[in-house]
Amino acid sequence: MKFPCPALALAISLLAAQSVFSAIVGTNTPSEAVTAKRIATLPRTERAEWSQYLAHSERQWKADQEFLRRELKRFGTTSVIVPPPARGASSLPLGRDSKWYATADARRLADITISFQTPAGGWSKNLDFSRHVRATGEHFVPENASHFLAASDNDAPRDSGWSYVGTFDNDATTTQLRFLARVIRSLDKKQGAPYRAAFSRGLNFIFAAQYPNGGWPQVWPLQGGYHDAITYNDGAMLQVLALLRDVAEGKNDFTFIAERVRRQARERLQRGMDCLLHSQVIVNGRRTVWGQQHDALTLQPTSARNYEMPSLASGESADITLFLMQMTSSSDEVVGAINDATAWFTKTQLRDVAFRNVGNQGRQLISDPGSGPLWSRYYEIGSDRPVFGDRDKSIHDEVNEISFERRRGYAWFTDKGNVVLQSYAKWKAARPQ
């Protein structure tokens, strides 16, 4: 994936806390959904598979909604029950002693978990699985709408009553499957039967959601907008790849997986890895890192929310690079991807600055000799200058110029690059010369 280096009108210092050249440097444009019209522009040999994928997604979208409509009709109401919310999937513990997963408490959580499994086989995000088994007519997802929606907002859902119904966002679906695997491993075949069935449906959900090019969207069935993009944000695709790796190996929690399914997981894992490597951004013939999300059809970095622009994303790229270093065997392509990504982290580090509260002005980037290194969350593709977005879709080259609300409510800098550089030194030393 190649990007021309954009012409820069001004030389912007990466380390300047208050740049006299700070300005609005662009406007964030919405990500494009996967549509029949866009598929028609693909090479002829690729269209059939993508068209079948899109048709399957649309059928499942309608089937999922019809399932809830039928429940409401049987219940004699049109009012959907809103389930209890929770942050992420924290109500499903994955770190307990193995014996705990055979207890009544664990099975209660497992029963609640499978009751909220969508008809497609996945799970929605931010559900509290500690409360109660899903009731007839209860939605599969709590209220997840943005509190800042405005006209033409990138976050506006395709259907206000149907959003994130089946997703990999916030560790959804992969966490539920890992929890069920721990319960299944702790029970005999008869006791574990309902959880095995739910696990199988969840794994098939992952297989169905995978794009023909190997990537995964944030939401499936496809929701449109940036949710259709191949999503590295919040580790969404990495969580899927890690789960498939563990399923394919059939060890520890996954010894119950049949060899036929393991083979399928291995094949899907390889396709996913190929997509990950092919989406590493190339600038002037050299690999750099990855975006927060990539267009499903072009593999180019694309936007998400109003303030998340197409760019090189340091946090997600750090996670990807560390994931590649953890592979037990590495091809030349993987080694090259790691080497070039680490070189990018070395090049783009910011030193002698800190991002913290300054009086009543909120968080700001300030000069702080000896601090760092830090990395900006986003870098402009080609120039590697940090860029920052605001809710009005404006793109800035100075974080102190964006609104107080966004400076306060978003992680604009990260130190994850330190972990990459430290891990790379150990990884490199352990490799045969």
Q: Contact, 213 vs 272, CB < 8 A?
A: no
Catalytic: which of 154, 170, 213, 233? 170
d(CA 192, CA 69): 30
d(CA 276, CA 245): 14
Q: Give yes or no: 305 in active site.
A: yes
Identify the DSSP state of 107.
H
Q: Give the Cα-Cα-Cα angle 93, 319, 367 (nearest 5 degrees).
A: 110
Catalytic: which of 178, 182, 305, 385? 305
Q: Which helix (H) or strand (E) holds 27?
A: strand 24-27
The sign of the CA dihedral 185, 83, 125, 72 is: positive
d(CA 238, CA 366): 33
Residue 114, amino acid: I
Both tokens assigned to 257: 């997986």
The closest of 193, 202, 75, 195 to 135, measured between CA atoms, is 75
- At residue 248, φ and ψ (nearest 5 deg) are -60, -35
Give the residue numbers annotated as catalytic, written as ranges.
170, 305
